[in-house]
């Protein structure tokens, strides 16, 4: 009988031990986010301004998240391919998209069958930076200011060219907004990127261009082109001697290229909180701010209180410009 009791006791102890061991793997696998690499999708080609910004952010996020942040370039279709790549990934926080208002507000303004809804499909983490735009001309062009350009356009409607670095881009929208407010007609020429447009401006094949300050600054410093005005409401720190359009008498035009980091809608609250905490640390680091500025961006870090509202209002404003100017997606 005593041996039987011992055996029964041994069985109970063994069963309890097995139960405890069975629980251990479940606890071990319940690790905090992130426990694997994160991909940062950039809907532009490598080496461009957004790619440079993305690589700065990725490196800094890595050090704070403890996991690699891998850049995945998905250029094409006016950033639509990159946006679709994010939406094709699981809504788990391990995929994020770094893109501009071209993706979130300009595309919805001109593409009727867009395969995403900017306000509903993305969970915005924060805006991180902006890139100023400027109206530029070649160095020895007779127009010394915006007033001269407007006078030239009024003297020969549709005979003077105002180029952009792409159809339905911020450059295109800014130029059309300027023409509308100024009451002038200028021929629009859309280039396939900033490089070809700038080359033609320097070569005097076109008289005027709206381009980023990042692309314009080296040519300004070299004395090849001259900036007439920036299209945002405040002067650019990179070319602080250049006036805003409002300072030249063109009221109401305020357009810049802003860049935001977003995830898919519906990512776990823990993942979103962890990403935002890491991003907050990055964007408040003086060293990171300096590097972003050296890359040509203006730091404009802000969290969105109402992302859908922001998208709705900005898309409506861009659609009004597009409808009036006849801007259509290619």
180 falls within a domain:
yes
Which residues lie closer than 8 Å to 93 by C-beta, 6 or more apart? 33, 34, 38, 263, 267, 268, 271, 272, 274, 275
In the block, which residue shows the tokens 């097995």? 18
- Give per-residue pLDDT as tens, 112-171: 899 999 999 999 999 999 999 999 999 999 999 999 999 999 999 999 999 999 899 999
- Give per-residue pLDDT as tens, 181-209: 999 999 999 998 888 999 999 999 999 99
Q: Identify the CA nearest to 298 among candidates 258, 261, 241.
A: 258
Which residues lie closer than 8 Å to 247 by C-beta, 6 or more apart? 229
Tell me phi and psi for residue 55, to 5 degrees: -70, -35
CATH of the domain at 216: 3.40.190.10
Q: Which of 248, 275, 298 is the last residue of a domain?
A: 248
Same domain, 231 and 161: yes
pLDDT at 8 > cutoff 80: no
| 113: containing domain | 38-131+257-325
Which pTM was predicted? 0.83
CATH of the domain at 297: 3.40.190.150
The count of residues in the chain is 330
Number of domains in the chain: 2
Same domain, 138 and 126: no
Same domain, 102 and 62: yes
29 falls within a domain:
no
- Give per-residue pLDDT as tens, 20-74: 444 444 444 457 999 999 999 999 888 788 899 999 999 999 999 999 999 999 9
């Amino acid at each position: 009988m005593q041996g039987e009791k011992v055996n029964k006791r041994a069985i109970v102890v063994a069963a309890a031990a097995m139960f405890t061991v069975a629980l251990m793997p479940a606890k071990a696998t319940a690790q905090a986010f992130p426990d694997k690499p994160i991909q940062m999708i950039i809907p532009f080609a490598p080496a461009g301004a957004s790619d440079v910004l993305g690589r700065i952010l990725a490196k800094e996020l890595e050090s704070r998240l403890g996991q690699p942040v891998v850049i995945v370039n998905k250029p094409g279709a006016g950033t639509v391919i990159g946006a679709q790549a994010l939406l094709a990934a699981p809504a788990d926080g391990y995929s994020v998209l770094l893109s501009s208002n071209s993706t979130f507000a300009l595309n919805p303004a001109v593409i009727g069958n867009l395969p995403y809804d900017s306000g509903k499909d993305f969970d915005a983490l924060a805006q991180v930076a902006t890139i100023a735009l400027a109206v530029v001309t070649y160095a020895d062009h007779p127009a010394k200011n915006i007033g001269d350009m407007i006078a030239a356009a009024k003297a020969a409607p549709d005979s003077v060219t105002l180029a952009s670095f792409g159809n339905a881009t911020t450059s295109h929208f800014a130029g059309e907004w300027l023409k509308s407010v100024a009451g002038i007609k200028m021929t629009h020429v859309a280039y396939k990127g900033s490089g070809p447009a700038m080359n033609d401006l320097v070569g005097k094949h076109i008289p005027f261009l709206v381009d980023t300050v990042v692309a314009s600054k080296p040519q300004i410093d070299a004395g090849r082109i001259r900036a007439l005005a920036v299209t945002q409401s405040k002067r650019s720190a990179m070319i602080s001697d250049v006036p805003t359009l409002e300072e030249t008498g063109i009221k109401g035009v305020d357009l810049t290229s802003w860049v935001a980091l977003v995830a898919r809608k519906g990512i776990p609250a823990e993942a979103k909180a962890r990403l935002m905490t890491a991003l907050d640390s990055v964007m408040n680091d003086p060293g990171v701010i300096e590097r972003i500025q050296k890359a040509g961006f203006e730091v404009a870090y802000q969290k969105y209180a109402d992302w859908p509202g922001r998208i709705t209002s900005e898309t409506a404003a861009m659609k009004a410009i597009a409808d009036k100017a006849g801007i259509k997606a290619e």
